[in-house]
Structure 1
C-alpha cells in the first residue's frame, strides 16, 4: 500500500479536519472527495498516476469519518467551508477538485460555493441526486430499495450503521469484500484483484467505521434528501468534466448523464465495459489528466 501521512488542522469552530496525501508532495494540488462509506485513504488508488503527472493528492476525511471530528446536523452545503478552511491552512489559493462516487455530490457543492477557487473539476462515477425519483430509478434494485428505505425509515439506517455493525467492521473491514464484489462486471473484478486495491478499500471501511460511523449515517440521510443545491444555476469558473463506466453496476452511467444535462458546460466521457472500480484504477491517469490546467 502506498505510504501515506495523516495530517490535521482545526477550523474556526475547533473541529479537527484530517487529511491524507498521495502523489507528488510538491506537485500541483488536487483535492480529492472520497466515496461512501470510505475515507481520504481511498485516494491511494490514484497514487501512481498522480506521481506520473506530478500531482499532489490531498484527500480529507469528511466529518465523522477517519480522523475528522463529527459535525452533527451537517449538510452537503457545509462541505465547501471545510475545504476552504483546509485550503487556507495549506495556503492554496486555487486547486483542482476530484469527486469520486459518493464524493461527487460534495464536489458539486464546492462548484456552487467555491467557484473562484477551483481550477478544474472532475466527477468520476458520481452518485447523482437520488432523492429525485428519476435518478433513484436508475439504481440497481437492491440499492434502490435500500436508499428508498433510508429515506422513508431513517431510524432503520441508524440501526444498520449503529449498534455493533461499526464495531465489527472497524475491526474486520475485510468482511465487506464479499458484498463489494457481488454482481460486478468483469473489469471491476480484475481491477479489485490487482495489487493492494482490495486492501486499500478495506482500510477505508475501517476508517469509516472507526468512530461509530456517524459520517456514514449522516451521508446516507443526506444523499436521500434534498441537497438544496441549485444545479442549473452553478456558474463554475473552471471546466467540469465527468467520467463514467458504461458497465458500472454500483452507480449507473445514467447518473453521469444526469449531471451532464444539469451542470452548465459539463462534458461527459463514457467508457464501454468499465465499471465502478476499473474506471479510476485503470484510467486514473487519463482522469487526473483532465485536472491539469495552465493556471
Structure 2
C-alpha cells in the first residue's frame, strides 16, 4: 500500500492582518489504496473519510480539515501515517481570519438574524462594536433590505483614529503599535499574563480585589447593594460572574484580542460619509470618556449622515452604563 498525505498551507501576507479574503488554511489529506473499497470507518466525521474512484479502478481516500472556503493546500503525511493526521490542522485552518475587517461583520449578523427568523430588528453598537454597527448600516445599501433594519444607535462608541490621536491614552497607542508590528509576540505575552492573572484571582487576595471591584461598580452605577446580595454566597456568585466577563474574551487565547486592537486603530475600509440610513443614528457618549475621547466622536458625528450626538456631561466610558436602559428603550421605540 502506498500512503500519501497531501495538505495545503496558506501563507500570511506581509501585513499582520492584510488584504486577503479567505480563511487561513484548507487541508486535504489523501491516501492511495489498492483495495476497491474502504472497510470500516474509525473516525465518525465524514470529512475525515471521503473517497473517489480513480480511472484505473483504485479508490482514493482523503480527509479534509480547516475552512471549506480557505485556499486549498495538499499535505503529504509522513511514514507511517494516514489521512487522519488532518485532525491536527483543524484548529489551524479555522483560527482567526487574518484579514477580517469591520465590513465582514454584517454578513455574520444577518445570517444569525435569519437563523432566528427575525424579520426586523435594531442594532446597538457599544464601545468597540460601534464601528461594526456603522458597517451594518452601510450594508443596507447593497446586501440588506432597508426595511429589515429598524434602528441603529451607538453607545460610548470607538471612533476612527483618522480623527487624530493627540488625546488617545498611551496604553491604546502602545496596543496599536504592538498589534501592528509584533502581533504574535503580543498575543503570547498576553496569554502568559492571563495565566498569571487566573492564578492571582483564585487566591484570597484576588477574591478580595474582585469583590471590591463589584462594590465600586455598583457605586459607579449609582446603585445601592441589597442586603441579600451581601451574603457570602451572593458575593461569591457575583465574583464568578465578573470573572466570566473578564475571561470570556480570552476563551480562545489572546490572538482575537490583538486582532481587534489592530482593526479598531486602523482604517475601517469605508468612509463614514458613505453610511446612509433614512432614520437618525443616535450616538450616546460621555464627555469624560478617556477610552474614546469625545473630540474623536464629534469628528465621527460630523461625517455620519443623519446623526445626532448626545453628550452626557461628566460621564466616562464606564459610568455611562447608568443610561443603558434609557438608550435601549428609545432604540426599540423606533421600530
CA deviation vs aligned residue, 1:48-101 (integer Å, no higher than 9, x gap): xxxxxxxxxxxxxxxxxxxxx854222211111110110001111221111111
**3-state SS in 1 of match to 2:311:** strand
1:111-126 equivalences under 5 Å are 111-114=137-140, 116=146, 117-126=148-157
For 2:121, the equivalent position in structure 1 comes to: 95
1:134-149 equivalences under 5 Å are 134-149=163-178
Instruction: Find the structure with the greater CA-based Rg.
Output: 2
Contact 1:245 1:271 in 2 (8 A): yes
Q: Which deviates the most, 141-150 or 119-128?
A: 141-150
Aligned length: 220
Give distance in 1, aligned partners of 2:180 and 2:209.
Answer: 26
Are residue 207 (structure 1) and residue 251 (structure 2) matched?
Answer: no
Contact 1:157 1:220 in 2 (8 A): no
For 1:235, the equivalent position in structure 2 comes to: 276
1:236-275 equivalences under 5 Å are 236-275=277-316
Contact 1:76 1:105 in 2 (8 A): yes
Shift in Å at residue 234 of structure 1? 1.1
For 2:324, the equivalent position in structure 1 comes to: 284
Contact 1:192 1:277 in 2 (8 A): no
Two-structure CA RMSD over aligned residues (Å): 3.5
Give distance in 2, aligned partners of 1:93 and 1:153.
Answer: 43
**3-state SS in 2 of match to 1:226:** coil
Contact 2:285 2:320 in 1 (8 A): yes
Shift in Å at residue 278 of structure 1? 1.3
Q: Which runs of 5+ in 1 are unaligned?
A: 1-12, 14-68
Give distance in 1, aligned partners of 2:239 and 2:289.
Answer: 18
**3-state SS in 1 of match to 2:172:** helix
For 2:134, the equivalent position in structure 1 comes to: 108
Contact 1:187 1:275 in 2 (8 A): no
The alpha-carbon distance between structure 1 residues 266 and 70, as it changes in their structure 2 partners (threshold 3 A), is farther
TM-score normalised by the chain length of structure 1: 0.63
**3-state SS in 1 of match to 2:333:** coil
Contact 2:286 2:314 in 1 (8 A): yes
Give distance in 1, aligned partners of 2:302 and 2:184.
Answer: 34
TM-score normalised by the chain length of structure 2: 0.56
**3-state SS in 1 of match to 2:160:** coil
Contact 1:188 1:277 in 2 (8 A): no
Give distance in 2, aligned partners of 1:87 and 1:158.
Answer: 32
* Larger relative contact order, structure 1 or 2 (CA cutoff 8 Å, min sep 6): 1
Are residue 157 (structure 1) and residue 186 (structure 2) matched?
Answer: yes
CA deviation vs aligned residue, 1:185-212 (integer Å, no higher than 9, x gap): x999623986588865542221111111
Give distance in 1, aligned partners of 2:168 and 2:242.
Answer: 22
